[in-house]
Amino acid sequence: MKARMNFFKASPGATQAMLDLTQYVKDCGLEASLQELVKLRASQINGCAYCIDMHSLDARALGETEQRIYCLSTWRECPFYTERERAALEWTEALTLITEGHVPDEVYDRARTQFSEEELVQLSLAIVTINAWNRIAISFRSVPGHYKPTHAK
Share of the chain above pLDDT 90, in %: 95
Cβ atoms within 10 A of the Cβ of 77, count? Answer: 7
Model pLDDT, residue 1: 80
> Is 4 a member of any domain?
no
pLDDT in tens, 94-141: 999 999 999 999 999 999 999 999 999 999 999 999 999 999 999 999
pLDDT higher at 119 or 145: 119
Total of domains in the chain = 1
Model pLDDT, residue 152: 52
> Is 127 a member of any domain?
yes
> Is 2 a member of any domain?
no
- Enclosing domain of residue 135: 13-139
Q: Which of 97, 147, 95, 148 minimizes the C-alpha distance to 121?
A: 95
Average pLDDT over residues 18-24: 97
> Is 44 a member of any domain?
yes
Q: What is the CATH number of the domain that holds 37?
A: 1.20.1290.10
> Is 6 a member of any domain?
no
Rounded to two decimals, what is the model's pTM? 0.94
> Is 144 a member of any domain?
no
Model pLDDT, residue 150: 73
Model pLDDT, residue 12: 96
Average confidence score pLDDT of the chain: 96
> Is 145 a member of any domain?
no
> Is 82 a member of any domain?
yes
